[in-house]
Amino acid sequence: MSLLEIRNLHVKVDNREILKGIDLQVDAGEVHSIMGPNGSGKSTLAQVLARRESYEVTEGQILYEGKDLLEMKPEDAACEGLFMAFQYPVEIPGISNAYFLRSALNAIRKYRGEDEMDAMDFLPILREKVRLLEMDENLMNRSVNESFSGGEKKRNEILQMAVLEPKLAILDETDSGLDIDALRVVAKGVNAMRSPSRAMIVVTHYQRLLNYIVPDRVHVLVGGRIARSGGPELALELEERGYGTMEAAAGAATTA
């Protein structure tokens, strides 16, 4: 059984069909990259996986560990080990980052029937992850993402992933807007999390991130369908030739 199996997924947003039949299988231990031009449906796919309820699934099925993901609430999916790093992390004034992280971890622990962690037990774990992501410890006492720089926000997403230790992590354009140093740190955090029991889906517009996080599989999404799949070399090919040829091919396929 695959960790994630997407079958013929069709999704509408605002009555417009964005995903037009996606099939994808991700096994534990694998890193998949989903690439594609703007508007191809990459983020929609990520949001549907994270159970954003505003996306209307009109057809198809998503199985997560054999269970119907579309029947799960976002919090239940999270507790079952699914995590999405947001493209635009949300600012939450008034809740400290450390408190937020501990609340999230405890919600998940409680779901699994484990004891909740108090602040004293949690602090060393948090410290270790903060160091891994080369973050300023002061950020832990500040409100979640509030007045964080773009790079700090993205690192904060990866920090959450490191603390929550999901089985399936979806990184939604985590690289956009990052300078090379921040990118390197984010990639280091992600690579440190790679394990035989964990899968990742890295959604990105640019090939650059894949120099640091080398995927097992690359899928190119065009016009709501996976136009091509291949190994890491596909990303390099895209870098050279751009999405143009594939868009043309997809266009031809649609009209045909």
Partner 1 sequence: MGRWKPPLGRQLPRDADAGATPEKKGISVTAATEQKLENYAESFSRFEKLAAGHDVAWLQNLRRNALARFCEVGFPSTGVEDWRFTNVSAIAEARFQLARDGSSEISREQIEQCLPATRTCALVFINGRFSRQHSSVESLPAGLTISSLSGQIRQNPGSLEPHLGRYLNLQRDPFCALNTAFLEDGAYVRAAKNVVAPDPIYLLFVSIGDKDLVMSHPRNLIIAESGSEIDVVEDYMSLDGSVEFCNSATELIANENATVSHYRIERHNTRSFNTSTLRIQQARTANVASHSILIGGALVRNNVHPVLAGEGGECLINGLFIGTGRQHLDNYMLVEHAGPHCGSRQFYNGILDDKAHGVFHGRIVVHKDAQKTDAKQTNRNVLLSDDALIDTKPQLEIFADDVKCTHGATIGQIEGNAIFYLRSRGIDEVSARRLLLMAFANECLERMREGAAREHVEKLIHEHLSRIAKIGSVEKAPRGVSETLQEAQ
- Check residue 89 for interaction with partner 1 (CB under 8 A): yes
- Check residue 147 for interaction with partner 1 (CB under 8 A): no
- Check residue 90 for interaction with partner 1 (CB under 8 A): yes
- Check residue 54 for interaction with partner 1 (CB under 8 A): yes
Please choose, out of 18-26, 45-53, 226-234, 246-254, the segment that lies near partner 1 by the rule CB under 8 A: 45-53
Closest among 34, 35, 22, 21 to 241, alpha carbons compared: 35
What is the per-residue DSSP string for 182-215? HHHHHHHHHHHH--TT-EEEEEES-SGGGGTS--
What is the per-residue DSSP string for 213-247? S--SEEEEEETTEEEEEESTHHHHHHHHH-SHHHH
- Check residue 51 for interaction with partner 1 (CB under 8 A): yes
- Tell me the number of residues near partner 1 by CB under 8 A: 33
Q: Which two tokens stand for residue 89?
A: 């992390």
Q: Which of residues 159-178 bind partner 1 (CB under 8 A)?
A: 160, 164
- Check residue 119 for interaction with partner 1 (CB under 8 A): no
- In whole angstroms, the minimum distance from the beta carbon of 236 to partner 1 comes to 32
Distance CA 94, CA 121 (A): 23
Selected from 39, 68, 95, 118, the binder of partner 1 by CB under 8 A is: 95
Q: Which two tokens stand for residue 215?
A: 């995927």
Closest among 114, 54, 55, 104 to 82, alpha carbons compared: 104
| AA identity, residue 57 | V
**Residue 189: how many CB atoms within 10 A of its CB?**
23
- Check residue 50 for interaction with partner 1 (CB under 8 A): yes
Q: Which of residues 171-210 bind partner 1 (CB under 8 A)?
A: none
Please choose, out of 21-29, 69-77, 120-128, 230-238, the segment that lies near partner 1 by the rule CB under 8 A: 69-77
Interface ranges with partner 1 (CB under 8 A): 13-14, 47, 50-54, 73-75, 77-79, 83-84, 86, 89-90, 92-95, 100, 103-105, 107-108, 111, 143, 160, 164
